[in-house]
Every structure is written in C-alpha cells, then in structure tokens.
Structure 1
Amino acid sequence: MKRYNKVFFLAQFFFYFSIGLSPFVNKLQAQIAIGKPTFPFTQICANPSFNAFDVNFSFTPTSGITASNQFIVEMSDGNGSFASPTVLHTSVAGSITTSPAKITFAVPVTTSGEGYRLRIRSTSPAATSQLSNPFPAYYKPQDSQFSINNSISNVVFCSGGSYVLSIDNPGTGTNDSPLKYPGLTFNWFRDNGPTVLPTKVASATGATYSVTSPGVYYAETNYGTCTSDSYSNRVTVVSASSGATAIITSSLGNPFCISQGPTTLSVTNGNTYQWYKDNVAIANATNQTYSVTTPGQYSVKVGFGTCDASASINLQEVTFNASLNVANTNAIVPGESLAVAVTTDATNPIYKWYLNDVQIPNVTSNTYSATVKGTYKVTITEPGSCTVSKDLTFNVTYTTDPNPFPDVPEIPNVISPNGDFINDTWVLPLTYVSGTNTEVLIISAFGEVVLQTNDYQNDWPSITSPIDFKNVNPIYYYIITTPDKKVKKGSITVIK
C-alpha cells in the first residue's frame, strides 16, 4: 500500500511539473534574435529621381516568428539617437520568413546629417536588433547651380565696413534657388585660387554672409560628404577707402514687359538707400529694392557707412516701332476718302480701328479709307509671351463742313446712304436732335436695337452703326420720346 502511494505521488509530481513548465518552454520558443543590420552603401545621397536603398539583416530561429510578424526598419536622427526614431519601412505581415533578409527603403526629404544609424524591429515576437554602423545621409532636393548677388561678379565695399552676399531668390532666368526648398543649410567659402583649397567660412550656414575682408566668395548647399552640384557663382569683393560701386538690376530685365506686371529694381547691398526718378527723390523709397511699372530714368544712392555709391538705370519697356502715312489733322472734301496705312516692325501685328472711341467693325488690316470726319485711332498689338500694344491717332475734317443740324420740317421715312452726301443719314427736326434730351430709339425688323441715345447727332447710319443689306431696302422702326413724354413712331426704309 505504501509503495502504491509513492508511485501515485511521483506520477502527480511529474504531471504538475510538466504543466507548470509548459508556458516557460513556449516562451523560450517564442523568442528570436535579430542580427546587426548591414548595407552595401557607405553613405546615402538621395534625390527626387533616386531614393531606394537596401538593408540586410538575419534572425534566428526562423521558426520563432508568427504568421502576423512584421519587420520594421527604423532610422535614428543625424546624431545616432533613437529617442524619436523614423520608420522607413514596415513589411507586410508574414512576408519575410527566411533569413538572411533584405528590405528596400527610402529616406525622408528632411534627411541631413553625418551620424545616422539603422535598427530592425519585429512585432511577433517583439525583438530589436543591434544598431548599425553610423553613416552619412542627405536628401538633395536641389542639386544644380544657383546665383548669389544677382550674378554680379565684382563689388566694392568701404574699408572698415562690410558687404552682404545673398543667395538670390528666385533670381533671374532659369535660376533654381535653393531657398525655395525649406530646411537646407549652406556653406560659404573663400576661393584661394587654383592651387589652394577653398577656405570654409566659420559659422556661415545661412542664406547670407557678411564679408569683412576682400576675396573671392561663393556658396554651396550643405550636403555634407555627399557630392554637391548645388553651388553658386563666384563674387570678387574689393575693399576701398572711397569709390565704392553699386549696380541696379531689373527682375524682368531691361527692357521689361509691362503686361507682365511690375519689375523689381534691386541694388547692391548696403546700409542705407534712397531711390530717385528723373533725379527727384521718391518718397519712402528707402529699401534695397523698388517696384516700378513705368519706364524711365531711375537711380539710387547707397550708403556703406564710411562712403557712398550711386547707380542708375534707364529702364525701358519692350516695344516696337509704328507710324502712319498721314498727318495728325487731315481735311477732305465731303464724298472723298483718306487712305491711311500703318507701317510697323511688330511681329504678327493685330489691328483695331476706332472712330470717336467706337471700334469700327470688320476692319483688321493695316490700311483704312476714312470717309467721314472725326477722331480716328488704330491700336496695333504684338502678341506673344509679352503682349505689347501701341495707339496711333489722327483727325479728319471737312474742307466744307455741311451743317449737321439743318432745320428740316418733318421726320423722314426714307434714306439712301450711298456716300453722295444727299439724304445719306436720317436727319430729324431740331426739336429732336442733340441738346433737347429727346430719346431716339431705332429697331431693326428683327427687333434688335441698333441705336438708342438721348443725344442724337443726325449721324445714323454710321461706320460704327452700319446698315445690314442682307435684305433689299431693309426697313427699320423708330420711337422718339420727348422729355415731356410725347411719342413719335414710324418706319424708315433704307434705299441702297
């Protein structure tokens, strides 16, 4: 009986021992070890057209991961700290089951530093690798040459003073300013000639640098140990006790296109400024730049502290030449015409002709025959990237000017506008014409209003309000309303 109890006790012991050990054994089987990440690169130099890099790692045992496991690639900050890591890639659950493994990732556009590290994490089970070796990494959003100092290559500053060099933004032409890309820093250098390496200017990482000693200077976008093609032109800075120079540049060039809006005049950087137009000081124009919309002679006085400099620019607009073959005022005999022609060097010009500020319809060539008196204007427009227009005017009078307001007894119901100056226009009695505030309304047979005025000049039909001869002898209808609301109605037959 005692032997039986002992055997029973041992059986129970091993049974409960195995139950208690089971979670511990399972826990051991659910752990994996991830090796130190390695990579084929020595540095990362990414840009908008290339941003794909590989990291290799191993883990053991492969049987330790679950079907829901994901591997995560994390990157430190530029100093190697994982206090706030950046996730570069997260694998699809269960997609990586064999070791060694490789993951391709991209770096953020804000990447910039010399001491980045990588690490790999798993999610099921949770594990973290050792840290990778440090490496430089930069994302280069801009990697082309740019301009400083408005591309002015030679400047003078006053002895004992300074001269500020600035990265242009946006600069002229196709200049791709790095200032358009937030977060970039810059290195400024003094060029020591072809046989000596340039000297990096200490503590100069911003978009400007104040030069205090003569030399040749340039800027470069800071991409650390990555090769940078983002560098500026060279500027030679000379110190002088007097005779400092200043130069004005126009943002839209000179000549500039008025239709593109104002152009910004910029002058050499100094301490104080005063702008002038035609040698007259412009009120409150005391900044380094001045915006203008009209051509003219502009100048500026720049103070450098111990000496001054002046600069000027004869700002011109993009234009073309155009002229007429007639005088400003021309007299013709009623019934005759004046042949007018425009001569211009404009490219593909467009013409619009006007009589008394009303456009003459269907006239688009460079010639026109003026048959009635009045003030004429032709607008010549040169289309293109810079649209330019020019107006030319001339006047036509009659050698014998007929009375425009004869004393006729009745309202005529027939006119014949054939240019013989007899019944050419609809002439009304004096009680209805200009100066009486009588409303004259003429309507076509189709119900279209062809004339409505309270200042009738006895001039219908006219060049600007012609007759439509689609029908033979068209008929129009009139309504005349006097200031005291008396109304006259009738028809007008037009005989060609």
Structure 2
Amino acid sequence: MNRPTTLSKKAFFFFTLLMCSIGLMAQTLNKPTAIQNPNFGTGGSAWTAVCASSIFNEYYVNFKWSASPSVLSDNTFVLELSDATGSFSSPTTLTTVTDKNSTTDFDIRFVIPLTLRGTGYKLRVKSTSPELYSPASQAYNMYYVDYKSPVQITENGSGSIGDGTISICDGNTAVIAVDNVPNAETYKYIWRKSSTILSETGPTLTVSESGMYNVELDYGAICSGSAGTLSNSITVETGASLGVTINTPTKTSFCEGETATALEATIADSDIFYTWYKDGTVVQAKTLGNYTYAFDTNSPDFDGDYTVKVEADGICSETTPALTISKTGAFTVTENTPLEMVILPGESKTLSVTSTAVSPTYQWYKNSTAISGATTNTITISEEAAYYVTVSQGGACASSLNSNKINVVAPTSFEIIANYTSTYTDCENSEIVLDITTINAVAANGTKTDVTSDLKASMSYQWKKDGTAISGATSSSISLTDIAENGSYQIDATIETFTPSSNTLPVVLRSNEIITIEASSLVACNSTDFITISSPTDLTGATFGWAKNGTIIDTSSLDLNTTEAGTYRLMVTRNGCAIPSNEVTISPLDESLITLDSALNIVFPEGGSKTVTASGGTAYEWRDSNNISISNSASITLNTEGTYTLIAYIESCVILKEVNVTYKDTFKIPNVITVNGDGINDLWFIPNSYAYQADVNVIIYNDKGEEMYNVFEYQNNWPESSTSFTSQNMVFYYKIKKGSDTIKQGTITVIK
C-alpha cells in the first residue's frame, strides 16, 4: 500500500481549506422566530399561537441571515408555511420580501389563510437567488377563528331546546346535534359529558348514558377558550318506560254542547307530572298528579288529537299515543256560483250550493228575508239583491249554517279595464300581451261591483289600434310582437244592449335588431394616434348618436375617431326607441402593465446568464446594444454585458424598457489607492453591485469625520481631478448605504 506523498498531503490540506472557505462564504438563512406585534407598542411578548379572526389577522416573525456573499439583485425572500403535519412538500406562500437583499436582520409581517385550522404548522424562509431554505421553526397552533358565537345543541338538531332534557327509555339511544353553525361538518368539536372530554369530534353525538352534555368548536388548546363557542347543556336522563296511554272513553265523537267525560291517563300517580296537549299545543300545563283533562264541547274547535306527557324522577319522560276526539254533525256549505253576479234586463240566474250535511234542509233568503217556497239547494232569481241560504241538519246534533252572501246586481252601465299582463315599459319590451283585467257593473248610484268572473266569457269583443278596428282581434286579449304594431290600443265590449269601451293602452315596442360596434384598438396610446370605432349597421339616413361614458358626443359621423379613453356605445333610434349597441371600453395606456420578472439592472458573474420574461403585452421584441433584433418572444436569456431594449406592444401601442447587464465583480472593496497619475489604481473602484446603482448611496468622510463626498449611482470616479490631498498618506472613511441600511463601511488610504 502506497503512503501519501508530501505533495498529496498538501493538496488535501489545500482542498480542505478551500471547502471550508467556500462554506464560510455561503449565505446562511436562520429559522424565523416569533416576535411581538410592533403595532401594539413596547413591552409585549412574542406570540405562541396564531388565533386569527375577521377582526385581527396580523403576525410578525424576525428573520436573520448572513450575506457572505450577498444574494443576487433579483432575489426574493419568501415566508413559507407547512401543512398541519409540519411537512413542506407543498408549502403555502404567506408573503414575499423584495427590498431586503442588503439587510440581514429584519421583521416579516404575515396573515394566515382563512381556512387554516391545526396544531402542527411550521414556518421557514426561502431565498430565490440563490435558492436556499432556512431551517423550519417550531410547530405552532394556527387557527382562523371564523365562528365566534355560542354553539346551540338540541335533540336531532331540531333547533328547539325545550327544557334542555332528553329522556332515553329502555336502553335506547338519542342524538344530540349542533344546529346553528354554518357548514357544521367542516369543523372539529370538543364534546364533554359532565366535564369529561369524549372521543367524538363531529357535529353530532349519539348518547345512551345519563349525564350533562355540552360542546365547543375545537380551535386547539390555546385558541378554543377565546373563541367563546361553548354551547348550552343538555341533560340526558335514562330509565324504564311506563307504557302510559290515555284510556279510550266509551264515546269519542260529540255534538257541540254535549256532555263529555274527562280524558284520563292509564297511570294515575300523585308523584308524576302530567302535561296535556291537543294537536301538539299545551291545553293543560304541567301539573303534579293531574292525570285527567276535561275538554269543553261548547268550544267550536274541541275536536282534535289529544296526548299527555308524563315526567318524574327515576322514570322516562314519555308521551302517549294520540286519542282522536271528533265532532258529530259538523258539515260545510259551498257556493257553486260567483259571489258577485250581474243580472241583465229580462234575464234570470240560477244560484246553487252543495253541503256535506246529513239529510239537509234549505231556506233561501233575499236581502235577509226568507223566500217562500225556496227550500232546495238551488234557486232561480231575476232581481238584483243579496241572496244566501240556511242549511239545517237534524238528528242527534241538530245545527244550521249560512252560506256566504251572493250579490246580484242589475247595472246601468259597465266599466271595462284593460292592462298589460306583465311588466311593461316603452322601448324596453319587445313583446306584450294586453287583456281585460276587470269588468265592473255600475249601479244607478255609482256603486261598482267586480263581475269579471261572471261576465268575461259572456261578452263579445273588438280590439282597436289608433281608433281603427283590428281584423280578427275579437278575443279578450291581444298579443303584440312587432314594432309595426306600435300604437294606442282600446277594446270595445258588447253584451245585450251594453257597449262599453276600455281605457287606452299605449304600446311602443323596441326592435329586436342587434347593433354591434368594434374598435381598431382597445388602448389609447397618445393624443395623435386615432382609434376608429365602427359598426356594420348601415347608418345612412338613420337617427343615431355615439356616446362616451353615457353622454352623446357625435350624431353625424358614421365612424367615430377618437384618441381618448372611455366607454363607448352607439345608440340607433328605430320607431321612436333608442337601440343600444354593445359597449367598447378603450383603456388609457398604462406602461406599468408591462412588467419584467427581473430588475432592470442585472448583475451576474462572467460566463453566467439570466433569463428575463416580460408580461402584460400582446407582442414583444428584444434588441441588443447594437439595436439588432435578437428575439420576438416574451422571454430572453442574457449572457453578455450590455444594454438591451425591450419593445413591448399593447394593441398598437409601444412601450420601451431598457435592461442593463453587467458582470459581477469578483474583487472586494479596496482600502488603498495611489493617486500618482500612472493610470493604475488612481481611482477608488468598487464592485458593480454597489457602483452604478440608483438606489445605493456612497458617502466619503475625511479624517475629522466631515462629509466630503455624497452621491447616488457612484460612477467609480473618486477622487475627482479637483480633489487635493495635503499630505503624503491620508485616511478617509466611507459608508455604502441602501435606504436607511448601511451595507458596507471602512477606510480608504490615499497614497501620493
């Protein structure tokens, strides 16, 4: 086996040293740490869980990283959130930071998504250029508390709490359910039985044991208490069923006023509470030992279904099956003719009723006076009056019932009212149906009686347009569907010697014609490039107007030429109605619509490259420093120093953007220069990541701390020719700042 030579040992040592140096120079991202919200002032503490809601959702973390070397100029820091298990396999971006590439210690504000609920969420920070990840933070409870009201629970989710008690008999079960939380199934719950937490986490709980139950939404150990969702309590009682019923009386059907024996439960116990119900409504309140109930047959609605509920300590609360009590001899009377009728001279009418009475007898009345011999269910009349009939039933439960009054009028005239059968507005409807809606019989004293249902089918009709009869329009309604039918409509009616005419209805239908317009461009570039808006509709001889933002601006140009942004529409008038076209919206040119996914000043090492992608335009062209076209796509890969021009188009508008590419300097900021005029090291050259940058401020101080040079976008040109140095070796101090942050500082020794 060969032993390593001295040379190989040296090479190994050098390689190890190189690797350590590389490691020391790489960026290090530290895990984000929770801090207090700076908006709450000083003296607070860092958050330990996220309990966000609609009224508060703002949290902060602190992030530190080492810039050896610095990140690239297009870097973005991304605060990422894991899933509820702490996995970053599909992280959620909470926020991004683009202005801290020279700041190694800063705070990050974030809000959580509205759907977040869990106990194992972690945070980490990602840098994009170069792509690195910080270690994950500790796991946190994170909940968006969107429901913050007390939960209500009831049996089977019925919504009725009652007395808050559920009885379970003979080993059966009952279901307690949440009934007031929207989308209840999307939450987790904490169910308790007498303070003991149960295993069920859904919105329903099946119970079989006695105890006191409640629930609250599970927002984690920290957030649940502050949410205030603790529900009402339900007491569950268990016991054996008594099998109580209502004794069936010897008689269950009664006449009004007939004597009836009281109903009684099959179990009579002075230690049991009884509550009596009729058709589900309490008729005798909960009373100890009151196992009977006497119903009153003098009440017209005594018939119905009766039940009794029994309750007591040590037994099941139970309700008996229903016992039906009916009313003997109850019957109805139904009129077979309209309650408002017209009788014409020499005409007669037949009135009739039907009844469910057993072996009924009838007596008709005219203006409340009995009509002799009118003792059947029908009567023929020939005079105006108010008629009704009394129907009587004999037998054990004899009773009588009057029909409704039937008003019969003999008019001196008729009033016909026509109307639109649906919502109608001139120039908005393209079709409409007109119909008779009311026929009033007018008495000599002016009293009007609505007899539409009695006479509408008996009259003959003729519709008129603008006073002229319309051929074939002889029904009570007319349908209009064409603008040629626009006009004023009236209907004449005839019955016997009466010839009433209706009111007049104006009809102005809009045309079904569709007007369209289009523009030669949808973006207003400037005040000299005209956009033409035109329509395929022939406007020759037509009445029309071009509207901008709802105001007519031109009533004569067949095509509209404009340079202004706005919403445009063409209004064409046909038969008195303005027909609007579609809208065309022309937007002002917004150069910010063209965006690049990179900064305009790009720095990368010689031999490297950067792909830049533009967006927001309809077409693109890239040109190099020699104005030669090098690409017609949105993206371009740049690998050479120089100034590149993007020509972006939005419709017919042109927007120019310049991208400057420089190689990243590999040297450090020098601390010595020799101003001896030999052309070597005469100027203080600093790396391009600091020089030529519009947002980087270079400040130089003399040995007394007095500022003597202050410039943005430093051009690597200090000292200037006018700068004088009074001694052989002079020391100056510099600061390089970006915003309020000092990113570099040190000394410069000038040797003459």
- When the two structures are superposed, what TM-score results if normalisation uses the length of structure 1? 0.47
If you compute each CA radius of gyration, which structure gives the higher value, 1 or 2?
Answer: 2
Higher relative contact order (CA 8 A, sep 6+): 1
- When the two structures are superposed, what TM-score results if normalisation uses the length of structure 2? 0.32
